[in-house]
Amino acid sequence: AFKAAVLIQQWYRRHVARLEMRRRCTWRIFQSIEYSCEQDQIKLHNFFSYLMDQFTPSSSKERDFISRMFISGESYKEAELEKYCDYESIEVPDSYTGPHLSFPLLPDHATALLEAFQQKQQLHARYVLNLLHETRKHLKQLPNISHVSTCYSEEITVCGDLHGQLDDLFLIFYKNGLPSPSKSYVFNGDFVDRGKQSLEILVILFTFLLIYPKEVHLNRGNHEDHMVNLRYGFTKEVMQKYKVHGKKILRMFQNVFCWLPLATLIDQKVLIIHGGISDTTDLDMLEKIQRNRFVSVLRLKKRKESSGKPQIQAINGESESGTDAAPRLSLQPQSAQAPSTANRREFSRWLRQTVQEQIDTCRRLVDISESEPEELTYSSMVSLKDTDEPCWTRQEEWKQVLDILWSDPMPQEGCRENKVRGGGCYFGPDVTEKFLEKYSLQFLIRSHECKQEGYEFCHSRKVLTIFSASNYYEIGSNRGAYVKLGPDLIPHFVQYQANKTAHLLTMTQRQGFLVALFAKISRVEESAFRALREKLFAHTSALISAFKSYDRDNTGKITLSNWATAVESVLRLGLPWRMLRPQLVRSAKDSMLEYKSWLDDLAMEQRSQEHIQSSLLEVIYRNRSNLETIFRIIDRDHSGLISFEEFQQTWKLFSSHMNIELTDDGINDLVRSIDFNKDGNIDFNEFLEAFRLVRQCP
């Protein structure tokens, strides 16, 4: 009997180990795909660099189109913001059954909102705008770094990324209690994007912020940035939910985001920031800068030639002065004669000049009207006290903010550029050590990275990552967590996992632990592999060339070993391909793979648009995220529609950058075949949806 038991143990251990391996591989897949998406931002920058430096427009129309992409749309001075985004003129009809807000807010308003959102109701635009105005007023008085003490409330609860997952916020409030005079909360950024209820989360958080200003603290995350919102879903969500007033609401959010504090300090001992630090992070500088100047921290890399000249912003990057640029930027170039479009360098110079002129114009306009009484912010008061001028450059200030919001810890020592995300640094345990010592801190709390258990320590427990969005990649992928700190500053964790489709994950006792685990892992795994197969499909041409290089005799087959090497060389995801192979390659005979038919099988899985040339299809799949962002930039009134001409021009520019041939007929085919043409306008949301994998509804 003992022998039998040992055998079973052997078998059991092997199965658990295999599942564990699969679980880790799945995690790897999701992470590498997520980070490679962030690479898209860099690719986008390359596209804009290309337009600026290498592209030769073939017509003045084309030239104007390009310049429109660069020059920021309407921006408003802070005072004008109030006029444009006013709410008082908005009537709330009697037919409205949602919650009503009045100011100052009371706890009852918060509970009403929570109930309303639980029942999927929507807050009226008037109240949203009113709330945003009040929130902005409140945030403006706050310093860049909030100071919290455990003397006031015994325990402080710190939450990480929520990413629009309202269920997780409800779960946190359910388990931990609502914010109150005896319950302090710090929310560490990334409230929006990806999840579909970013708006509701913000409304709830801002409401509690105004009701309990001493107890509720919000930090800015890298997603509290309208450039990121264009890509990751918040912009889309607002426009879908508020068709009439969405644009105003977005403008207000854009402004409110840049007034969010950058960090929170507990008892002068624990620093909470969204991303991390770098070897140049300077808390004194961070306390003094004017944080609202950093509307968006994403922008083009500095060009070597323009050293000494101020940076050219790509799309509504940092606003140069204390307030936003003047309204209604003229689109007519102010230089005398448009250059001959044949000369590439001249075009490039002209473009820079035009953009620079526009910026200068804005600056001048703002300087003149600086005499209007601007409410003094905490940080501007601090700098008034100093007798000398702030001695750091705009560039240095920008780097401080970027590092705080985008950096990630790494196990190796040192500090290097975070090329994966395209912003911030990777900082090592030595950087942490020095930083904590310099400011007499005990440890750092940050978020920004998804962790399987919802939280994770690193750097010898000096850095804590807390992540509050459960099931982030897929249902069952990870837990969320929050951390509680008492006066002893010892962290206590609470984990949770929101599960709507719980019935999928619970199994009866009889079926046993292994089956349940298997089912859970399978589900998440399936999702990961679907995403991976889509990526493989998106690189079909490159893969074929790579495979062919291993198949000199043109047999149509390669070894599985070469398959793995080739795939990594094309996708560069750093994944264990040999481990993943059984799930990706079903049809291998004598360990040789017929690669062409394998790729054909992959293509069939994708929602095939057979009449569209395959190379174009690939480009769309590979660059969907960037295409979406570009369309949103062009669609300045956020209507979801762009004109057919704009659509055409975008494709022309893009295909020239991507080096693919795309004729006018090709573009027309695109438009016609998918039938999303609406009176000469293209609904680009529908267009992009057509190229998404068909997902099984959970």
Partner 1 sequence: LVAEIEKKITEAFEVFDRESNKTVDVREIGCIVRSLGCFPTEAEVQELLEKIEVEEPGGFVHLEHFLPVMTKVLLDRRFRPIPEDVILHAFEALDENKCGYITKDDLVKHLTEG
Residue ranges binding partner 1 (CB under 8 A):
1-11, 13-14, 16-18, 20-21, 24-25, 28, 411-412, 510, 512, 561, 564, 576-579
Nearest distance, CB of residue 401 and partner 1, angstroms: 28
Nearest distance, CB of residue 409 and partner 1, angstroms: 11
Identify which of residues 561 and 673 has a Cβ nearer to partner 1 in the complex: 561
User: What is the distance in angstroms between the CA of the first residue and the CA of the last residue of the chain?
Assistant: 44
Identify which of residues 25 and 258 has a Cβ nearer to partner 1 in the complex: 25
DSSP category for residue 161: B
Nearest distance, CB of residue 413 and partner 1, angstroms: 11
The Cα 637–Cα 84 span in angstroms is: 14
223 part of the active site: yes
Cα maximum dimension of the chain: 96
The label of the residue with tokens 């003047």 reads: 326
The Cα 685–Cα 680 span in angstroms is: 15
Identify which of residues 24 and 492 has a Cβ nearer to partner 1 in the complex: 24
Number of H helices, E strands in the chain: 25, 20
Identify which of residues 179 and 409 has a Cβ nearer to partner 1 in the complex: 409
Residue partners of 338: CB distance under 8 A and separation at least 6? 60, 63, 350
Return the bridge partners of 226, or none: none
The phi, psi pair for 417, rounded to 5°, reads -60, 140
Identify which of residues 20 and 600 has a Cβ nearer to partner 1 in the complex: 20
- Judge contact between 461 and 270, C-beta under 8 A: no
Residue 81 host element (H or E): helix 78-84
Identify which of residues 67 and 562 has a Cβ nearer to partner 1 in the complex: 562
Single-letter residue type at 181: P
The Cα 505–Cα 497 span in angstroms is: 12
**What 3-state DSSP class applies to 107?**
helix
The Cα 369–Cα 309 span in angstroms is: 25
Nearest to 472 by CA among 239, 16, 20, 160: 160
The label of the residue with tokens 């079903």 reads: 586
Identify which of residues 48 and 577 has a Cβ nearer to partner 1 in the complex: 577
Measured between alpha carbons, how far is residue 3 from residues 8, 12, 481, 482, 485 in Å?
Answer: 9, 14, 43, 46, 50
- Judge contact between 128 and 244, C-beta under 8 A: no
Identify which of residues 119 and 509 has a Cβ nearer to partner 1 in the complex: 509
Identify which of residues 379 and 478 has a Cβ nearer to partner 1 in the complex: 478
The phi, psi pair for 539, rounded to 5°, reads -115, 25
DSSP string, 325-377: PPSS---S--SSSPPPTT-HHHHHHHHHHHHHHHHHHHHHHHHHGGGS-PPPP
Cβ-count burial 134-156 (b if 16+ within 10 Å, e if not): bbbeebbebbbbbebebeebeeb
Among the listed residues 109, 133, 217, 223, the single catalytic one is: 223
Nearest to 457 by CA among 415, 411, 421: 411
Nearest distance, CB of residue 455 and partner 1, angstroms: 15
The Cα 31–Cα 34 span in angstroms is: 5
The Cα 639–Cα 85 span in angstroms is: 17
Strand pairing category for 270-272 and 443-446: parallel
Residues labelled as active-site residues: 223
